[in-house]
Amino acid sequence: MPNAGKSTFIRAVSAARPKVADYPFTTLHPNLGVVRVDENRSFVIADIPGLIEGASEGAGLGHQFLRHLQRTSVLLHLVDIAPFDPEVNPAHEAKAIVKELKKYDETLFRKPRWLLINKIDLVPEDEREKRIAALLKGYGKVDRHFVISAISGAGCREVTFALMDYLEQVRKGHAKANSAE
Ligand SMILES: Nc1nc2c(ncn2[C@@H]2O[C@H](COP(=O)(O)OP(=O)(O)OP(=O)(O)O)[C@@H](O)[C@H]2O)c(=O)[nH]1
Ligand SMILES: [Mg+2]
């Protein structure tokens, strides 16, 4: 979704410096960043414009860039766990995006997808467990999930290490980058 913190995340884990702002559709083009986990191990990450409901029919911008994701090994779905509007249900929003992805391209839908539950810093500590559980329940099946604060960097290194390990498995042929292949 727009405003979920995708550009903030790529800034946290790479040297890429895309614009970050508190309004939707800040990112208009994909940004690439190199994530270096140590001296000899790195991978490339792409930040794309946010998707919205109706994207597969042309609403918003994100669909124009989904084709750039065809060759990626894993998708990261950034979800804002603390939307500004308390009426907004993060699980509903997130599922709507997954539906768009499926409508747009089944093979993207079937790619490994990790859920990054972002903006945890905005949730009071005593509510975190409950809100995370509700999001996971509402979202449905997910390969892996991480709880992060892209703005403070909390939890972000764990994501990059897990990604690096996973990509090394993919490169060795031990894991599938795309279950449709
Ligand atoms: N409190 C808090 N704010 C965050 C976090 N991550 C991002 N933000 C804020 O959320 C707003 C949107 O962040 P962006 O990184 O621009 O979001 P985006 O997903 O790239 O948005 P689009 O490019 O419009 O699709 C900015 O005001 C960020 O500072 C976080 O972990 N915690
Ligand atoms: Mg952005």
* Strand order across the 144-147 sheet: 75-80, 113-118, 144-147
Among 85, 122, 123, 151, the mutation site with the greatest number of ligand 1 atoms within 8 A of its Cβ is 151
Please give the pLDDT value at position 133.
Answer: 97
Please give the pLDDT value at position 103.
Answer: 87
Q: Kindly report the average pLDDT of the chain as a whole number.
A: 90
Please give the pLDDT value at position 50.
Answer: 85
For residue 51, the 8-state DSSP code is P
For the stretch 109-138, pLDDT in tens is 999 999 999 999 999 999 999 999 999 999
Q: Where are the domains of the chain?
A: 6-172
Per-residue confidence band for 59, with pLDDT thresholds at 50, 70 and 90: low
Q: Read off the amino acid at residue 136.
A: L
Please give the pLDDT value at position 24.
Answer: 84
Q: Is the CB of 25 under 6 A from ligand 1?
A: yes
Q: What Å distances lie between residue 3 and 24, 38, 40, 78, 174, CA to CA?
A: 5, 30, 33, 10, 35
Fold observed for domain 6-172: Rossmann fold (3.40.50)
Ligand number nearest to the C-alpha of 3: 1
pLDDT at 80 over 70: yes
Q: Is the CB of 31 under 6 A from ligand 1?
A: no
Is the distance from CB of 159 to CB of 149 less than 8 angstroms? no
How much distance in Å is there from the Cα of 173 to the middle of ligand 2? 32
158/164 Cα distance (integer angstroms):
10
For the stretch 147-173, pLDDT in tens is 999 999 999 999 999 999 999 999 998
